[in-house]
Amino acid sequence: MSTALVVGLGVVGVRAARQLVDTPGIERVLLADRNRGRARQLVEAFGAERADTVAFSPGDVLPEGVDVVATALPTGDDRPVVEQAIAQRVACASVDDDHDAIERLRLLHDRAETAGVTVAIGCGLAPGIADLLAKHAASTFDAIDEIRVARTGWAGEACAAAVRAARRGTAVEWAEGAWRRDQYHDDQLVWFPDPIGARDCRIVSGGVALLVDAFPDAARISTLLGEPPARRRWRRQFDEAGEWGAARVEVWGQRGTSRDVMVYGVIERTSVAAGTMLAVAAAHLVGALGTRVERPGVAGPAVLFEPVPLLGELAERGVRAAAFEGVPVG
């Protein structure tokens, strides 16, 4: 039985904590947030026998007895937590989906590998569940040549702001075995599972590096993000239960002599999908859901995890994936 520390109790962190409390192999969940009152409310809701608050801020020494850390902090804030986890040889999972934040965490790879610590990054909806679906789809091909991951949805205002910044910024694509940077202003129509349907999405940078780590032989890898609602001062910003989101994963490759495509998708409230993925990833790192996943270093879900067990666990927790059975047109 293990103890998990959840750092950051925003809309994603709360869902991750709930899922960890409901994981039989996790004996105790410690909750850390700068708002101690919020952490105490959650402990009351979860039950004091399984959860407890703890005074912990990024950069602090981890509380004694922690076996795995799940971070759901605002973009870029989780690096000191991951550094501390590596220093104390504790496995760690992060949900951060920002390109620069992911790159800063990837820089810790050698340190984590030397310390023998497994750090799972990009454990959200996309990157995250989408990476698992890409690996699952890739396993049906003899060889793959293109992966396109699209996401629409944001967990809260901070997440929506990060999406707006990503769509404004320079996009990084993997093209013909090399990085290509470009400034995209044109949206592409992407079909997500119903009822989300068609949404305008733009090529961005987030999560591409994690897919390239997992599929270095793919000729092209790109990620796209949908447009969040415009920021308005007086309107209600986000639904308390969380906004709906979706991911679509297209994998192109060779089967025998023919070229084919596999399209997978998932639809769920973004915070629920991301929080569940974060919790399931953290639980696997500590062996709370079967075999302990141990691969020292910093890596994304497609490198670390076998997709079928995780997709099964996610489905049991209500996050179900779907396959598109369509007719090529155009």
Residues 100-159 that bind other proteins (CB under 8 A): 136, 140, 145-146, 148
Instruction: Specify whether the CB–CB gap between 223 and 163 falls below 8 A.
Output: no
Return the closest-CA partner of residue 304 out of 312, 295, 291.
Answer: 295
Residue with smaller CB distance to other proteins, 22 or 194: 194
My answer on whether omega of the bond before 195 falls inside 30° of 0, hence cis, is yes
Q: Which of 65, 216, 229, 312 binds other proteins (CB under 8 A)?
A: 312
How many residues bind to other proteins according to rule CB under 8 A? 32
- Of the candidate spans 54-62, 151-159, 292-300, 320-328, the one that interacts with other proteins by CB under 8 A turns out to be 320-328
Q: Quote the least distance from Cβ 202 to other proteins, whole Å.
A: 16
Binding segment toward other proteins, per CB under 8 A, in 52-60, 85-93, 298-306, 308-316: 308-316
Interface pick for other proteins out of 158, 161, 165, 261 (rule CB under 8 A): 261
User: Where in 5-64 is the site for other proteins (CB under 8 A)?
Assistant: none
Reading the block at residue 162, the tokens are 């990060």
Among 57, 89, 308, 318, binds other proteins (CB under 8 A): 308
**Shortest reach from residue 118's CB to other proteins, in Å:** 24
Q: Is 33 helix (H, G, I), strand (E, B) or coil?
A: coil
Among residues 128, 153, 193, 207, the one that binds other proteins under rule CB under 8 A = 193
Binding piece for other proteins, criterion CB under 8 A, among 28-36, 177-185, 233-241, 315-323: 315-323
**Is residue 323 involved in binding other proteins (CB under 8 A)?**
yes
Distance, in Å, from the CA atom of 62 to the CA atom of 5, rounded to the nearest integer, reads 9
Question: Cβ contacts of residue 125 below 8 Å, gap of 6+?
Answer: 151, 153, 245, 247, 266, 268, 270, 273, 274, 277
- Residue 7 contacts residue 32 (beta carbons within 8 Å): yes
Closest approach of other proteins to the CB of residue 310, in Å: 10
Interface residue with other proteins, options 259, 290, 316, 318 (CB under 8 A):
259
- Closest by CA to 154, choosing from 78, 38, 239, is 239
> Per CB under 8 A, does 325 bind other proteins?
yes
- Show the binding pattern over residues 202-221: x = contacts other proteins (CB under 8 A), - = does not: ------------------x-
**Structure-block tokens of residue 286:** 């500590």
Backbone phi, psi, residue 250, to 5°: -110, 125
**Helix 36-46, helix 11-21: angle, nearest 10:** 30
Is residue 178 close enough to count as binding other proteins by CB under 8 A?
no
As a whole number of angstroms, the distance between CA 307 and CA 219 comes to: 22
Closest CB 314 distance from other proteins, rounded Å: 10
| b (16+ CB within 10 A) / e for 112-141 | bbebebbbbbbbbbbbbbbbbbbbbbbeeb
Footprint of other proteins (CB under 8 A): 136, 140, 145-146, 148, 191, 193-194, 220, 250, 252, 259, 261, 263-265, 307-308, 311-312, 315, 320-330
